[in-house]
Structure 1
Amino acid sequence: MQSQNAAMNRRTLGGKDGLEVSALGLGCMGMSEFYGQGDEKESITVIHRALDLGMNFLDTADMYGSGANEELVGRALKGRREEAVLATKFGIRRDGGTRTVENSPEYIRAACDASLKRLGVDHIDLYYMHRRNPDVPVEESVGAMAELVRQGKVRHLGLSEVSADTLRKAASVHAIAALQSEYSLFTRDLEAEILPAARELEVGLVAYSPISRGLLSAALPDADELAADDFRRHMPRSSGENAVHNRALAEQVRKIADEAGMTAAQMSLAWLLAQGEDIVPIPGTKRLKYLEENAAAASLTLTPGQLEALVQAVPADAVRGPRYPSMREIGN
């Protein structure tokens, strides 16, 4: 296994005039919500260490912790803003336990201003529509996002979890630098239509949950051993008979990784990186140990034999269970 290079390789999202980011980004969601109790001091240490390692692409959203995650990231970036490529999202409104998707131009303008204030910055490098409300034409929403670019509040635009058709409509209004969607050895639905469309349009793919929320690490505890507020307790893929089946698949990945001198998580990330220079995984963690383990994957290269062995071990349709309970989307 090669050593980690502090000057992490860069990739470009969105073609020749797109956004240059580190080959691996850092998902910050779990620092504030969804994965059990967080610790702000440790989370800020993790963000600072990511920047030290050259992992400069930081991902948050206004709905993570109902704004708390943006505030945390903003505090971490005080004095280091120029080192980071900062991405955040709008579109999921929270009112108590109720969540709605809001894409109106008026809301987009207000959401952007609120994010800028929470983050304590004067611009957002990559601003995503977190989820799409089909009742609002995507062209209308992207038009409002494009106005933010013209105002200097946003540098590049992105969408999350949209179809190939929606992506094409959006790109007809303004250049889209990135599509953020779930992609991993365990989630490959987008390979048929969405990824080809993104490449046709020169839209980079930002892969969230690249280790399948810990399942591919081959070390995720049983659901009933997770913290009471860890939402993976209720995820179909990590509970019941599905978990037994999917853990067996993850164990196969671990065996291949062991032979290569890698961890299962590193091999899973290296597999994603090998799928194309336009793909940037954003593994999330709030622990320094896992950050450094993940970051090391950016310098790993899998052999053709290893890539083939992984596909044989985890065929595209092998994983059991939907991504969300009743396909209800919780965060990302």
Structure 2
Amino acid sequence: MEYRTLGKTGYDISSIGFGAWAIGGTWGEVNDAQSLGALHRALDLGVNFFDTADVYGDGHSERLLRRLRQERQEPFLIATKAGRRLDPHVAGGYNRENLRAFVERSLDNLGAETLDLLQLHCPPSEVYGQDEVFGVLDDFVREGLLRAYGVSVETVSEALTAIRHPGVATVQMIFNAFRLKPAEDFFAAAREADVGIIARVPLASGLLTGKLRRETSFAPDDHRAFNRHGEAFDRGETFSGVEYETGLEAAQQLQELVPPGMTLAGFALRWILMFPEVSCAIPGARTPQQAESNAAAADLPPLDEAQMQAVQDVYDRLIRAQVHPLW
């Protein structure tokens, strides 16, 4: 396993982390025994960064990570998120009272006294420019409720606004072979500000595993069935905003670039890690086998210049017009 520094937090984290959305909900049926097996296996393989949120299974994902901490001795970091419990989800809800309640609930779910990293969970765009919100988070750090804080964003523009606040230590954003805009328009600014980048949706909701087909069906409670056009939350969270048929075609073309002995998923994760600005990619896993496959990507050989250019070419021909202007 490779380790990288997570921006100004100073944390050394595994370059492949564990995205815990799928073990909480909205990815179909969850099996806690399998989920815990995946968490334990990831830890066995050197993963020390686990990303969750208070709304993943209404706190279920956080509580599973609490069990992991109870069952294991070695230290690891948990990043959680807050804000999406607001109903309605409006900028005015990001106030001291609500944020404190969210933090205290996550601390209880996780069985912790201090959160390693709290991220604002894709709030309305205007929140990123509100100094008072980040002032509240600064106060929470001083109180010892948080060690560090960052933001989770939908757009590059939101990320650029957020890092104007000096306390923002991390930005979590969608970055994968179907979403190249961050590398073009944000990574240099993040490097200058010493902000760690957490790459979420690294496998484009499964499209970049190469295992999905036109006939693949998804459970009714799987966001890939009900959010393809943004019916429940931002459309970019599902298949990275790429139309399903286009994504299948692009994945097939990327499959042709994969060297012998490597899977498309491994290739896609290793591609992300070719960008030194990325501190960590957080693929999800619901089984020990998936956790093993994800972790193995950190030890794959670097991609060469021709492979990197070929991925760029697929993006430019098939994907760019669909997603680049939107996020």
Q: Could you tell me the TM-score, scaled by structure 1's length?
A: 0.85
- Separation of aligned partners in 1, 2:156 and 2:305: 29
Superposition deviation, residue 282 in structure 1: 0.4
Structure 2 counterpart of 1:52: 44
Residues 10, 284 of structure 1: CA spacing in aligned structure 2 closer, same or farther, 3 A cutoff?
same
Superposition deviation, residue 36 in structure 1: 0.3
AA at the equivalent of 2:287? R
- CA offsets per residue over residues 145-189 of structure 1, 9 Å max, x none? 112211222111111116666556654554322100111001123
Alignment check: 8 A CA contact 1:58 1:87 kept? yes
Alignment check: 8 A CA contact 2:134 2:167 kept? no
Structure 2 counterpart of 1:105: 96
Structure 2 counterpart of 1:311: 312
Match of 2:179 among 167, 171, 187: 187
Alignment check: 8 A CA contact 2:154 2:174 kept? no
- Separation of aligned partners in 2, 1:313 and 1:104: 43
Alignment check: 8 A CA contact 2:7 2:279 kept? no
SS in 1 for 2:70: coil
Residues 192, 31 of structure 1: CA spacing in aligned structure 2 closer, same or farther, 3 A cutoff?
same
Residues 170, 242 of structure 1: CA spacing in aligned structure 2 closer, same or farther, 3 A cutoff?
closer
Structure 1: give runs of 5+ residues left out of the alignment: 1-7
AA at the equivalent of 2:201? S
Residues 161, 73 of structure 1: CA spacing in aligned structure 2 closer, same or farther, 3 A cutoff?
same
Alignment check: 8 A CA contact 1:210 1:268 kept? yes
AA at the equivalent of 2:210? A
- Separation of aligned partners in 1, 2:148 and 2:320: 34
SS in 2 for 1:256: coil
Runs of 4 or more, structure 1, over 3 Å off, are 98-102, 133-137, 162-174, 221-224, 319-323
Structure 2 counterpart of 1:153: 145
Structure 1 counterpart of 2:194: 202
Structure 2 counterpart of 1:3: none
AA at the equivalent of 1:75? R
Residues 282, 81 of structure 1: CA spacing in aligned structure 2 closer, same or farther, 3 A cutoff?
farther
The two structures, once aligned, show a CA RMSD in angstroms of: 2.7
- Separation of aligned partners in 1, 2:27 and 2:320: 22
Structure 2 counterpart of 1:5: none
Alignment check: 8 A CA contact 1:93 1:100 kept? no
Superposition deviation, residue 321 in structure 1: 5.2
Alignment check: 8 A CA contact 2:191 2:277 kept? no
Work out the percentage of aligned pairs sharing the same amino acid: 32
- Aligned length in residues: 312
1:124 to 2:115 alignment: yes
- Separation of aligned partners in 2, 1:47 and 1:87: 14
Residues 34, 193 of structure 1: CA spacing in aligned structure 2 closer, same or farther, 3 A cutoff?
same
Structure 2: give runs of 5+ residues left out of the alignment: 230-237
